[in-house]
Amino acid sequence: MPEGTMAMAVHEHSQRSPILRFSFRADGTGPATTAAATGLDAHTVSARVLAVLRILTGFVFLWAFLDKVFGLGYATASGKGWIDGGSPTKGFLSSVAAGPLQSTFHAWAGAAWADWLFMLGLAGIGAAVMAGVALRPAAVAGTAMMALMWLAEWPPAKHLTDGSPSMSTNPFADYHMIYAVALVAVAAVGAGATWGLGRWWARLPVVRDHTWLR
């Protein structure tokens, strides 16, 4: 076969043939199939990763709500749940021992309005984020909640008001910041469309007319 004809045949064959990419395992035992070989593109992988982040972040809030309501024996002792007459805010806010809002948080501790607002926030944010709906309002509410909790714990302090070490591990980027950033991220990219009810939610007339509800 002439050289030009052979080159043309190879070129046509390469256009028609699917490209499979493989990477070798670190132990050298054989090829490992990559996302390209399994038919998953980068967009699909990213969407699923963000969906997992969304579900886990929502579960953090929803679990905190359930534990504080029923006293599941984790952060809230058995028999001390909200349903048993306990206060979801009294223990935490009354123990605030650092920061510029210390007296303010002490005044809020155990107040009925604070308990209801805190618990409704946990339930609403957790349910919405796990379901993939109303992610923007949930991100705003969740970020405000995390900011208040960050102020209550006041990570910049090295010592508490009694002089004891605060045991702060980072003066700024603690877990409250991470949760807030995660909420903003999943809302910004519309992560509710994957493994969630985001597409259905976005089609509702009220949501179409008020995009801030997405």
84-140 pLDDT, tens digit per residue, is 999 999 999 999 999 999 999 999 999 999 999 999 999 999 999 999 999 999 999
| pLDDT, averaged across the chain | 87
- What is the pTM for the complete model shown? 0.81
153 pLDDT above the threshold of 70: yes
* pLDDT for residue 39: 61
Mean pLDDT across 9-16: 42
Give CA–CA dist 163/151, Å, rounded: 19
Distance in angstroms (rounded) separating the CA atoms of residues 13 and 110? 74
pLDDT tier at 20, thresholds 50, 70, 90: very low
Quickly count: other Cβ atoms within 10 Å of residue 90's Cβ: 15
Answer whether residue 61 shows pLDDT above 70: yes
Instruction: Tell me the mean pLDDT in the region 197-205.
Output: 97
At 11, the pLDDT band (50, 70, 90 cuts) reads very low
Tell me, what's the pLDDT at 40? 77
